[in-house]
Amino acid sequence: MEAARKARATLPIIILTARGEEADRVRGLRLGADDYVVKPFSVRELLARVEAVLRRSPERPKQVDKVPLPCGVADIPRREVRYKNGTRCELSERESDLLGYLVSNAGRAISRDEILTRVWRLNPAKIETRTIDMHIANLREKLHDNSDEPKVLLTVRSKGYMFAKTEPPG
């Protein structure tokens, strides 16, 4: 199961097994399974459990290519910001992935745990880091988003970060 989580951190996992003891079920769920189904089970029950797990899973964000910003345009696939004055600034792969994820979920506060899981593909329970805050600070600088009063990458107290829907002036 750990290999599946490493390969695709967002992939829901349902354990199908003949081992139905409470200790086995608890162990499976603690190891990261989203559900645990013991044989025998009906196809209808399994389908209902799959639907329930998918309902609890965050939506898959839409792919975003170009993002209009007050300072210019961020081109996610090219990993760059093109400023209105014609200059460009390169984004690191992680900065580009982070910005793309935030933009795909614009208007929604995203927790650090979700960012670690979805962008970094790490298990937040096993790591304590401030790397997300550092990447947000770097992105704010590159997007010319005043860190004292950000207008693009907002900090949502006790929740995480949010991309504010922005329209370029004019």
**Cis omega before residue 61 (within 30°)?**
no
Query: Is the predicted pLDDT of residue 150 greater than 50, yes or no?
Result: yes
Residue 170 is predicted with a pLDDT of 43
Residue at 168 is within a domain: no
Which residues are CB-contacts of 157 (< 8 A; sequence separation ≥ 6)?
none
pLDDT band at 118, cuts 50/70/90?
Answer: confident
pLDDT band at 145, cuts 50/70/90?
Answer: very high
Is residue 106 domain-shared with residue 41, that is, in the same domain?
no
Is residue 72 domain-shared with residue 156, that is, in the same domain?
yes
Kindly report, residue by residue over 13-49, the tens digit of the pLDDT.
899 999 999 999 999 888 888 899 999 999 999 999 9
Helix, strand, or coil (residue 31): coil
| pTM above threshold 0.85 | no
Residue at 170 is within a domain: no
Kindly report, residue by residue over 63-111, the tens digit of the pLDDT.
679 999 999 999 999 999 999 999 999 999 999 999 999 998 899 999 9
- Strand runs labelled E in the chain: 14-17, 35-38, 66-69, 72-75, 80-83, 88-90, 153-156, 160-163
State the residue range of the domain holding 17.
2-56
CATH of the domain at 46: 3.40.50.2300
Query: Is the predicted pLDDT of residue 11 greater than 80, yes or no?
Result: no
Is residue 140 domain-shared with residue 92, that is, in the same domain?
yes
